[in-house]
Amino acid sequence: MKKIMKELPLKLVSQIALKTAQKEANSACLFLGYQPKAPDNMKKLRKF
Burial of 10 (0-12, 13-18, 19+ CB in 10 A): exposed
Question: How many domains is the chain built from?
Answer: 1
* Residue 24 confidence (pLDDT): 78
Is 15 contained in some domain?
yes
**Local confidence band at 48 (pLDDT 50, 70, 90 cut-offs):** low
The answer to whether 21 touches 41, Cβ cutoff 8 Å, is: no
Q: What pTM was estimated for this model as a whole? A: 0.59
**Local confidence band at 11 (pLDDT 50, 70, 90 cut-offs):** very high
What average pLDDT does range 12-38 have in this prediction? 79
Domain range holding 34? 2-43
* Residue 33 confidence (pLDDT): 63
Mean of per-residue pLDDT scores for the chain: 80
Is 19 contained in some domain?
yes
